[in-house]
Chain A
Amino acid sequence: MTADVKRQSDFPTWRELAIGSAVVYSGSARALKTGDWASSHPVWHYVGEATGCIQCGLCTVYCPEGCIAVKTIDETGYDLALLERRPASGITPGSLVPAANLDYCKGCGICVRECPTRCIEMVAEEL
Chain B
Amino acid sequence: MGKRIGMEASIAVAETVALCDVDVIAAYPITPQTHIVEHLSEIVADGELDAEFIPVESEHSAMSSCVGSSAAGARTFTATASQGLVLMHEINYIASALRLPIVMCVVDRSLSGPISIWNDHSDIMSERDTGWIQTFAENAQEAVDLTLHSFRVAEDLGVLLPVTFNLDGFILSHMIEPVILPEREEVERYLPNYEPKIRLDVDQPLTMGPVGVPAIYTEAKFAQEMALRDALPVIEKAWDEFEELFGRRYHPIETYRLEGADVALVTMGSIGETAMTYVDQARDAGIKVGLIRIRLWRPFPKKAFLEATKGIKGLAIVDRCASLGGVGGPVALELKGALYNQDHRPRVVEFQVGLGGRDVPVQDFDRMVQSTLAVIAGGPLPEPRFLQVRE
Contact B219 A24 (CB under 8 A): no
- Which residues from 173 to 213 on chain B have a C-beta closer than 8 Å to any C-beta of chain A? 197-198, 205-213
Verify if B223 is at the interface (C-beta below 8 Å from A): yes
> Looking at the complex, which of A11-19, A39-47, A55-63, A79-87 is the stretch in contact with chain B?
A11-19
With A11-B219, A14-B222, A15-B223 as contacts: A21 and B97 at CB distance below 8 Å: yes
Give the complex CA separation of A17 and B219 in angstroms: 8
A17:B223 contact, CB within 8 angstroms: yes
Judge whether B100 and A21 touch: CB under 8 Å. Answer: no
Provide the residues of chain A in CB contact with B206, threshold 8 Å.
22-25
CB <8 Å contact, B97 and A26: no
Given contacts A14-B219, A17-B220, contact A28 B207 (CB under 8 A): yes
Q: For chains A and B in complex, what number of residue pairs have CB atoms within 8 angstroms?
A: 57
Contact yes or no, A22 B198, CB < 8 A:
yes
**Cβ B219 vs Cβ A20 within 8 A:** no
> Does B282 count as interface, using CB distance less than 8 angstroms?
no
Contact A26 B215 (CB under 8 A): no
Task: Check if A21 sits within 8 Å of B223, measured CB to CB.
Answer: yes
Q: How many Å lie between the Cα of A7 and that of B214 in the bound state? A: 11
Is the C-beta of A8 less than 8 angstroms from some C-beta in chain B?
Answer: yes
B237 CB, min distance to chain A CBs, angstroms: 20
Instruction: Give A105 to B316 CA distance when docked, in angstroms.
Output: 60
Q: B160 in the interface, Cβ–Cβ < 8 Å? A: yes
**Residue numbers in A under 8 Å from B209 (CB-CB):** 20-22
Contacting pair B219 A12 (CB below 8 A): yes
Does B215 lie within 8 Å of A7, measured CB to CB? yes
> Is A32 engaged at the interface, CB distance under 8 Å to the other chain?
yes
CA distance A51 to B95 in the complex (A): 54
Which residues from chain B contact A21 at a C-beta distance below 8 Å? 97, 209-210, 212, 216, 220, 223
Contact partners of A17 in chain B: CB under 8 A = 216, 219-220, 223
Nearest A residue to B99 via CB reads A20
Q: How many residues of A contact B (CB 8 A)?
A: 19
Are B215's CB and A22's CB within 8 A? no
Closest beta carbon of chain B to A110's beta carbon, Å: 21
> Which of A11, A12, A14, A23 has the most B CB atoms < 10 Å from its CB?
A14
Q: Are B215 and A20 in contact (CB under 8 A)?
A: no
Chain B hits for A19, CB < 8 A: 99, 160, 197-198
Residue of A18, A28, A32 with most partner-chain B CB within 10 A: A18
- Chain B residues lying within 8 Å of A23, measured Cβ to Cβ, are 206-207, 210
**B42-68 interface with A by 8 A CB criterion:** none
B223→A14 contact, CB < 8 A: yes
A53 CB, nearest partner CB in chain B, Å: 34
Measured in the bound complex, the distance between the Cα atoms of B230 and A15 in whole Å is: 13
Shortest distance from the beta carbon of B64 to any chain A beta carbon, whole Å = 16
Contact between chains at B98 and A20 (CB < 8 Å) = yes
Enumerate chain B interface residues (CB-CB to A < 8 A): 97-100, 160, 197-198, 205-213, 215-216, 218-220, 222-223, 226
Across the A-B interface, the 3 shortest Cβ-Cβ residue pairs? A20-B99, A14-B219, A23-B207
Taking A12-B216, A14-B223 as known contacts, 16 extra A-B pairs with beta carbons closer than 8 A to each other, sorted by chain A number, are: A7-B215, A11-B216, A13-B219, A14-B226, A17-B220, A18-B198, A19-B99, A21-B97, A21-B216, A21-B220, A22-B198, A23-B207, A23-B210, A24-B198, A26-B205, A32-B211
22 pairs, CB–CB < 8 Å, chain A vs chain B: A8-B215, A13-B219, A14-B218, A14-B226, A15-B223, A17-B219, A17-B220, A17-B223, A18-B198, A19-B99, A19-B198, A20-B208, A20-B209, A21-B210, A21-B216, A22-B98, A22-B208, A22-B209, A22-B210, A28-B207, A28-B210, A32-B211
